[in-house]
Amino acid sequence: MSETSGRSGSDRQGSGDRRGGGPRQGGGRGGAGANRGRTGAPRPARATGRGPAPARSGPVVPPRDVHDPDGVRLQKVLASAGYGSRRAAEDLITAGRVTVDGVLVRELGVRVDPTHAVIHLDGLRIQLDTSLITLALNKPLGVVSTMHDPEGRPSLAQFVANREERLFHVGRLDADTEGLILLTNDGELANRLSHPSHGVAKTYLAHVEGRVSAQTAKALLRGVELEDGAASFASYTLVDQTPQATLVEVVLHEGRNRIVRRLFDEVGHPVMQLVRTQIGPIRLGDLKSGRTRVLGKTEVGTLMAQVGM
C-alpha cells in the first residue's frame, strides 16, 4: 500500500477543516506555528522602525580631479582636434563619452592641459598634437625599407619627399615584398607598434609554389622549427588553389626577418609573390602602389588603442 493511500480519513478531514476555517495546525497564537503563514513559511519579523543594518564597505573614494585651472576648456580642446564645433563637443562631454586621464568627465567647466592630458572619446585616444601624423604607404617591389640607402637603391624617402615632417618607418618589408608600411613622426606610437610585446597582427597575401595540403597548413599553424626557433601563423585562410600554385592569406603576430618566406620555404612551398595587406586595424585597401594617404582620426585612435595608448 502506498504512503498516499495509507493516510487516515481523519488526516484528510483535518485538511478539509483547515480549508474551511477550522483550527490551524500548530495550536493557537502562542504555539510553535505562530510565526508561520498559511504555507508554513516563516513570517517576516515585525518592523522595529530601525531598518536593516547597512552593509559594510570600504571608504568611498571621490573621482580624481582632472581640472587644471590654467588649462583650456575641454570642449575647446575637442573642437580644435577636429571633433566638430564647440557645441558638438559639449554634447559629447555631457553624454558621458569623454574621459581625461582615465576619469569620466561630464561637466562643461573642466579645463585641461592639452600638452599633457590623455583624452579618450568612446574609448579611442584623441591625438591632440596636430604636428603628429601617420601615413600609410603601398610600398612597391624593389624598394628597401629605409629612409636613406647608402647603396643608392630606391628607398621610402622618395614617396614622402614633399612632406615637411621628419618621418620614419614602422617595421620593415623586404625589397621583394610589397604592400602596406606605416610612416610617422610619432615616436611613442612607432616604438609601441614595433615592440614584440604588443604583438600587433600583420596580414599577408602569399602566392606560393605548388598545392599546399591541409596537413601542411595545419603544421604551419601548429609551428615549424626554424634555425632561430619555432614560428607559426596565427591564421591561415585558403583563397585559391591550382595544381601549380596556392594563394593564401596568413596572419602573424611577430616580425622576424623574412618570416613568411622562411616558413613556406621550410615546408617546401617557396613564395612567388608576397603582399602585406594589413597592420593591426589599418588596411591597405585600394591604395595604389607608390601612393600614400594620411590616416584619419579614427584609424589613429584604433591603432593607439591596440598598443595601449
Residue 103: all three cell numbers together: 576619469
Instruction: For residues 154 and 255, state if they share a domain.
Output: no
- Measured CA to CA, the distance from residue 157 to residue 161 in angstroms comes to 6
205 belongs to a structural domain: yes
Domain assignment present for residue 14? The answer is no
**Collapsed DSSP state (helix, strand, coil) of residue 294:** strand
31, part of any domain: no
**Phi and psi at residue 217, in whole multiples of 5°?**
-60, -40
pTM listed for this prediction: 0.73
The C-alpha atoms of residue 35 and residue 245 are separated, in whole angstroms, by 84
Backbone φ and ψ of 287, nearest 5°:
-65, 125
Residues 270 and 218 in one domain: yes
Residues 193 and 205 in one domain: no
| Residue 45: predicted pLDDT | 46
| Structural domain that includes position 88 | 72-125
pLDDT score of 53: 52
pLDDT of residue 59: 52
Q: Which of 85, 106, 125 is the last residue of a domain?
A: 125
Active-site residue list = 174
Strands 111-112 and 119-121 come out as unpaired
Separation of alpha carbons 7 and 1, rounded Å: 10
- Dist CA 3 CA 281 (whole Å): 71
Q: What per-residue string of b and e applies to 255-277 under the rule 16 or more CB within 10 Å gives b?
A: eeeebbbbbbeebebebeebbbb
Number of domains in the chain: 3
Domain match, 163 and 148 both? yes
Q: The domain spanning residue 118 has which CATH number?
A: 3.10.290.10
Note whether 111 and 81 are same-domain residues: yes
Q: According to the model, what pLDDT value does residue 66 have?
A: 86
What are the cell numbers at 143?
624598394
36: Cβ contacts below 8 Å, ≥ 6 apart: 26, 42, 43
CA 258 to chain centre: 27
106/235 same-domain check: no
| Same domain as 149, residue 91 | no
In a domain, 3, yes or no: no
- DSSP 8-state class, residue 181: E
* Structural domain includes residue 29: no
pLDDT tens digit at each of 309 positions of the chain: 444 444 444 444 444 444 444 444 444 444 444 444 444 444 544 444 454 555 555 554 456 788 888 899 999 999 988 888 999 999 999 999 999 999 999 999 899 998 889 999 999 998 888 889 999 999 999 999 998 888 889 999 999 999 989 998 998 899 999 999 999 999 999 989 988 888 899 999 999 999 999 999 999 999 999 999 999 999 999 999 999 999 999 999 987 889 999 999 999 999 999 999 999 999 999 999 999 999 998 899 999 988 888
